[in-house]
């Protein structure tokens, strides 16, 4: 077929002349360049960017270990491990630790030197985030500096003088009994082993993968790195592992980059990074930790820019944009997440002398006080837009847990001045006792979960922290209930210990049930794993301090032996996939909370009570010790200082 040239139509057959065609092509190529260029300036979470960029570039957030979250993180691990590329193991010399050594700017600190310097006064499923419609822009952020933050006014010396006892005790908490001391030394050796391997194979990454001998970054902390370092600072320090502590401090100084632009869990960043830096500062007085934590605290504030002031779960630390977890129904926020900020935020206000942090968490408190609670219970999901509950699922384990813990600890940390927190805690405990506390056929006390009035006879490993929580709160409720609370705390701790003793490995499953003939055992395959969690040991530690019943130390020692036998591998510690089988299958993950919590609580269990005495310290939910705020003492000290200078 022959095409005839029509009048007025160009040779191209498209009705364009050569010059027009050239201009059009130029315009088109400009447009394409612009589109691709724009991709790199879009916020990390924009879906289009995810399609074009690789996973590591965009770092989609998988839910973290907050409450039920790390269970989900764990579920995706087997795949990664099986399909992990071969040859992932870096050559030993490739770790950055050696490089860091040469970067040292300040002389290393010894335990004694720090203490001496500070002495003075009385003491010394991979869930890629789908942005929900409830996304908030970070543009309207109110920063701490806008509100007049003044980091110069906090006096570390005044703070030290207001402590009742020396933080590290008489002899760093060394017990006089030789067996206990041997056990304590064993725990210290475990910490050193876990740390050395992290340093060797995963330095600067978030966690160590001990089987493949490499680092894990994950996606709970946005672009933040070094979770295991921040989580370990205080543990290394109280154990007197000073060379290791100095390496960690040096890393914070040279490599902790807070200018990340990734999607982070507000809860996880708060409990691990904010909590870890705060306690490192309070224990050592190093200004470095204070300036880092104040810088980070400021980056978290935009998460509160919601119609109710209830923060959303995820925040982009760079842009300040925040949104709800894609898996949380109807764009809701999670009780254990927005309810686990109080301790750290009060301390951020203390250090910055800026009330904004306290205001943010007090606002959460105000809303929770105002809304109706079914049977006095606090459901796990709340809308940050309407301020109403979204579902009626109540749990003292995952999704709820540390909210209750922070109520009683807020009261204790306020030097028992925060009456509101006290009232809320005992109110919640009453509702828990009336609705959730159960006795099994075999006589075990447990905490069931509540789904709109129907009980699920299951208790998560996470819920086992409650033995310790109820124990430390026993003194401050109604006096006639003191013994009752101590008994309840002991019964729950006993049940959790049973969940360990009834397994082949003597480690406890992720969740255990009390139905269909089960008594403190996991009935589902998916509940049989153990990821080095601390909660059961945490309760042993508190119950030991409260009662001095030697059984708690014996139970702790059983756990040490089980960890050594089943979780210690050639290059670190690893979780296991099934606590009921002796031929263990490791999950290839040394969680940062193993260093921060599990080993710290074990060390404290085998130490004298004067190592981080409970009269002066509360532990945040990641086991980072925070001091009790003695407002009146601090004010007296300030007045005295003023009078002296006049
Ligand atoms: C830790 O990160 C904290 O204890 C948190 O409150 C719950 N999950 C882990 C440990 O299991």
The CATH number covering residue 323 comes to 1.50.10.10
Ligand 1 atom index nearest CA of 70: 8
Residues 136 and 235 in one domain: no
Question: Atom 9 of ligand 1 has which residue's CA nearest to it?
Answer: 65
Is 143 in contact with 357 (CB distance < 8 Å)? no
Ligand 1 atom index nearest CA of 623: 4
| Catalytic option among 510, 527, 578, 622 | 510
| Catalytic option among 535, 608, 616, 622 | 535
Distance 254 CA to ligand 1 centre (A): 28
Please indicate, yes or no, if residue 93 is contained in any of the structural domains.
no
pLDDT, position 110: 65
Ligand 1 atom index nearest CA of 405: 6
Half-sphere exposure of 303 (CA within 13 A, CB side): 33
Angle between helices 178-202 and 242-255 (to 10 degrees): 30
User: Residue 238: is its pLDDT beyond 70?
Assistant: yes
Is 466 in contact with 404 (CB distance < 8 Å)? yes
Distance 220 CA to ligand 1 centre (A): 13
Residue 237 or residue 35, greater confidence: 237
Each residue of 88-129: pLDDT tens digit?
A: 223 323 333 333 233 333 456 665 544 443 333 333 322 223
By most ligand atoms within 8 Å of CB, the mutation choice from 621, 624, 625 for ligand 1 is 621
pLDDT, position 12: 36
Please indicate, yes or no, if residue 3 is contained in any of the structural domains.
no
Tell me the pairing of strands 393-394 and 333-334.
unpaired
Tabulate helix, strand, coil % of the chain (nearest 5): 50, 10, 40
By most ligand atoms within 8 Å of CB, the mutation choice from 73, 533, 542, 587 for ligand 1 is 533
User: Chain-centre distance of CA 74, in angstroms?
Assistant: 15
Each residue of 205-224: pLDDT tens digit?
A: 999 999 999 999 999 999 99
Please indicate, yes or no, if residue 15 is contained in any of the structural domains.
no
* Alpha-carbon torsion (514, 517, 521, 524), positive or negative: negative
Each residue of 354-366: pLDDT tens digit?
A: 999 999 999 999 9
Residues 121 and 218 in one domain: no
How much is the average pLDDT of 434-456? 97
Range(s) of the domain holding residue 501: 163-629
Of residues 463, 434, 437, 334, the one with CA closest to residue 393: 334
Residues 179 and 214 in one domain: yes
Task: Look at the chain and report how many structural domains it folds into.
Answer: 2
Tell me the pairing of strands 458-460 and 617-619.
unpaired
Ligand 1 atom index nearest CA of 401: 6
How much is the average pLDDT of 12-21? 52
Question: Atom 11 of ligand 1 has which residue's CA nearest to it?
Answer: 533
Classify residue 602 by its DSSP letter.
H
Q: Is 549 a catalytic residue?
A: no
Half-sphere exposure of 463 (CA within 13 A, CB side): 30
Confidence band of 17 (pLDDT split at 50, 70, 90) = low
pLDDT, position 632: 87
Is 339 in contact with 364 (CB distance < 8 Å)? yes
Is 544 in contact with 186 (CB distance < 8 Å)? no
Tell me the pairing of strands 322-323 and 333-334.
unpaired
Half-sphere exposure of 7 (CA within 13 A, CB side): 0
Of residues 294, 298, 351, 286, the one with CA closest to residue 627: 351
* Alpha-carbon torsion (454, 457, 461, 465), positive or negative: positive
Residues 149 and 200 in one domain: no
User: Residue 66: is its pLDDT beyond 60?
Assistant: no
Please indicate, yes or no, if residue 66 is contained in any of the structural domains.
no
Distance 41 CA to ligand 1 centre (A): 34
Distance between CA atoms of residues 515 and 380, nearest Å: 23
User: Residue 332: is its pLDDT beyond 90?
Assistant: yes
Each residue of 572-581: pLDDT tens digit?
A: 999 999 999 9
pLDDT, position 20: 65
Q: Is 535 a catalytic residue?
A: yes
User: Residue 82: is its pLDDT beyond 50?
Assistant: no
Residue 551 or residue 48, greater confidence: 551
Please indicate, yes or no, if residue 341 is contained in any of the structural domains.
yes
Distance 593 CA to ligand 1 centre (A): 7
Helix (DSSP H) and strand (DSSP E) numbers for the chain: 26, 19
How much is the average pLDDT of 257-279? 97
Residues 567 and 451 in one domain: yes
Residues in contact with 284: Cβ distance below 8 Å, sequence separation at least 6, in sequence order? 109, 114, 118, 237, 249
Q: Is 82 a catalytic residue?
A: no
By most ligand atoms within 8 Å of CB, the mutation choice from 64, 65, 530 for ligand 1 is 65
Residues 316 and 377 in one domain: yes
CB atoms within 10 A of CB 107: 8
Q: Is 268 a catalytic residue?
A: yes
* Secondary structure E strands in 339-467: 381-382, 389-391, 393-394, 437-439, 445-447, 449-451, 454-456, 458-460
Q: What are phi and psi of 259, to 5 degrees?
A: -90, 55
Distance 597 CA to ligand 1 centre (A): 8
Residues 644 and 581 in one domain: no
Distance between CA atoms of residues 524 and 587, nearest Å: 18
Distance between CA atoms of residues 365 and 420, nearest Å: 9
Classify residue 318 by its DSSP letter.
T
Confidence band of 329 (pLDDT split at 50, 70, 90) = confident
Please indicate, yes or no, if residue 220 is contained in any of the structural domains.
yes
| Catalytic option among 44, 207, 268, 298 | 268
Residues 634 and 612 in one domain: no
Residue 46 or residue 334, greater confidence: 334
Question: Atom 10 of ligand 1 has which residue's CA nearest to it?
Answer: 533
Distance 211 CA to ligand 1 centre (A): 23
Q: Residue 458 in 3-state DSSP?
A: strand
Please indicate, yes or no, if residue 645 is contained in any of the structural domains.
yes
Distance 13 CA to ligand 1 centre (A): 69
* 621 in a known ligand binding site: yes
Residues 146 and 244 in one domain: no
Of residues 615, 646, 612, 574, the one with CA closest to residue 235: 612
Please indicate, yes or no, if residue 4 is contained in any of the structural domains.
no
By most ligand atoms within 8 Å of CB, the mutation choice from 343, 542, 587, 597 for ligand 1 is 597
| Catalytic option among 70, 401, 418, 622 | 401
Distance between CA atoms of residues 494 and 496, nearest Å: 5
Residues 118 and 250 in one domain: no
Question: Atom 3 of ligand 1 has which residue's CA nearest to it?
Answer: 622
Residues 543 and 613 in one domain: yes
Ligand 1 atom index nearest CA of 69: 8
Each residue of 533-583: pLDDT tens digit?
A: 999 999 999 999 999 999 999 999 999 999 999 999 999 999 999 999 999
Distance 621 CA to ligand 1 centre (A): 6
Of residues 527, 529, 474, 521, the one with CA closest to residue 500: 521
How much is the average pLDDT of 342-352? 98
User: Residue 293: is its pLDDT beyond 90?
Assistant: yes
Each residue of 153-183: pLDDT tens digit?
A: 799 999 999 999 999 999 999 999 999 999 9
Distance 286 CA to ligand 1 centre (A): 26
Q: How many residues does the chain have?
A: 646
Residues 245 and 319 in one domain: yes
Ligand 1 atom index nearest CA of 268: 2
Is 605 in contact with 258 (CB distance < 8 Å)? no
Distance between CA atoms of residues 589 and 123, nearest Å: 40
Question: Atom 5 of ligand 1 has which residue's CA nearest to it?
Answer: 66
Q: What does the buried/exposed string (b/e) look like for 499-537 if buried means 16 or more CB atoms within 10 Å of the residue's CB?
A: bbebbebbbbbbbbbbeeebbbbbbeeebbbbbbbbbbb
Ligand 1 atom index nearest CA of 533: 11
Classify residue 308 by its DSSP letter.
S
| Residues framing ligand 1 (Cβ under 6 A) | 65-67, 70, 402, 462, 533-534, 593, 597, 621-622
């Amino acid at each position: 077929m022959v095409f005839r040239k029509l009048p007025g139509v160009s040779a191209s057959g498209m009705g364009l002349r050569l010059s027009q065609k050239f201009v059009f092509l130029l315009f088109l190529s400009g447009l394409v360049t612009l589109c691709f260029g724009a991709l790199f300036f879009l916020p990390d979470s924009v879906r289009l960017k995810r399609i074009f960029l690789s996973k590591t570039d965009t770092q989609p957030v998988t839910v973290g270990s907050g409450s039920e979250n790390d269970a989900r993180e764990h579920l995706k691990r087997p795949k990664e491990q099986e399909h992990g590329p071969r040859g992932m193991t870096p050559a030993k010399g490739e770790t950055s630790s050696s490089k860091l050594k040469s970067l040292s700017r300040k002389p290393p600190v010894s335990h004694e030197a720090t203490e001496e310097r500070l002495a003075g006064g009385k003491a010394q499923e991979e869930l890629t985030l789908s942005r929900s419609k409830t996304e908030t822009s970070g543009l309207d952020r109110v920063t701490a500096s806008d509100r007049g933050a003044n980091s110069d006014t906090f006096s570390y010396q005044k703070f030290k003088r207001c402590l009742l006892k020396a933080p590290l005790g008489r002899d760093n908490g060394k017990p006089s009994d030789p067996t206990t001391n041997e056990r304590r030394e064993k725990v210290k050796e475990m910490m050193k082993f876990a740390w050395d391997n992290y340093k060797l194979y995963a330095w600067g990454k978030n966690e160590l993968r001990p089987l493949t001998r490499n680092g894990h970054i994950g996606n709970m902390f946005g672009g933040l790195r070094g979770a295991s370092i921040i989580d370990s600072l205080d543990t290394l320090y109280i154990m007197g592992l000073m060379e290791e502590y100095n390496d960690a401090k040096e890393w914070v100084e040279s490599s902790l980059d807070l200018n990340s632009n990734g999607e982070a869990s507000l809860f996880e960043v708060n409990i691990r990074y904010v909590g870890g830096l705060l306690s490192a500062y309070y224990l050592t007085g190093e200004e470095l930790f204070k300036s880092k934590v104040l810088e980070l605290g400021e980056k978290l504030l935009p998460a509160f820019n919601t119609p109710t002031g209830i923060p959303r779960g995820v925040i982009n630390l760079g842009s300040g944009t925040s949104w709800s977890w894609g898996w949380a129904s109807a764009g809701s926020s999670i009780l254990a997440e927005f309810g686990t900020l109080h301790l750290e935020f009060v301390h951020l206000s203390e250090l910055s002398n800026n009330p904004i942090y306290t205001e943010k968490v007090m606002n959460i408190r105000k809303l929770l006080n105002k809304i109706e609670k079914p049977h006095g219970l606090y459901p796990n999901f709340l809308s940050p837009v309407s301020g109403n509950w979204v579902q009626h699922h109540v749990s003292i384990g995952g999704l709820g847990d540390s909210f209750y813990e922070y109520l009683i600890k807020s009261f204790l940390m306020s030097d028992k001045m925060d009456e509101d927190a006290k009232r809320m805690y005992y109110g919640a405990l009453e509702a828990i006792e009336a609705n959730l506390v159960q006795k099994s056929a075999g006589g075990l006390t447990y905490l069931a979960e509540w789904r709109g009035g129907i009980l699920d006879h299951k208790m998560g490993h996470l819920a086992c922290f409650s033995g310790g929580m109820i124990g430390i709160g026993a003194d401050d409720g109604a006096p006639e209930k003191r013994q009752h609370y101590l008994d309840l705390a002991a019964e729950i701790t006993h049940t959790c210990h049973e969940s360990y003793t009834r397994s082949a490995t003597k480690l406890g499953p992720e969740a255990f049930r009390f139905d269909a003939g089960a008594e403190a055992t996991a009935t589902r395959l998916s509940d049989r794993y153990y990821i080095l969690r601390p909660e059961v040991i945490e309760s042993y530690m508190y119950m030991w301090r409260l009662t001095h019943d030697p059984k708690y130390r014996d139970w702790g020692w059983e756990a040490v032996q089980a960890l050594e036998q089943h979780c210690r591998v050639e290059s670190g510690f690893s979780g296991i996939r099934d606590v009921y089988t002796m031929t263990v299958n490791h999950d290839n993950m040394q969680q940062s909370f193993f260093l921060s919590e599990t080993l710290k609580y074990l060390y404290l269990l085998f130490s004298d009570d004067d190592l981080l005495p409970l009269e002066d310290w509360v532990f945040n939910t990641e086991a980072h010790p925070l001091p009790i705020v003695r407002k009146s003492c601090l004010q007296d000290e300030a007045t005295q200082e003023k009078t002296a200078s006049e």
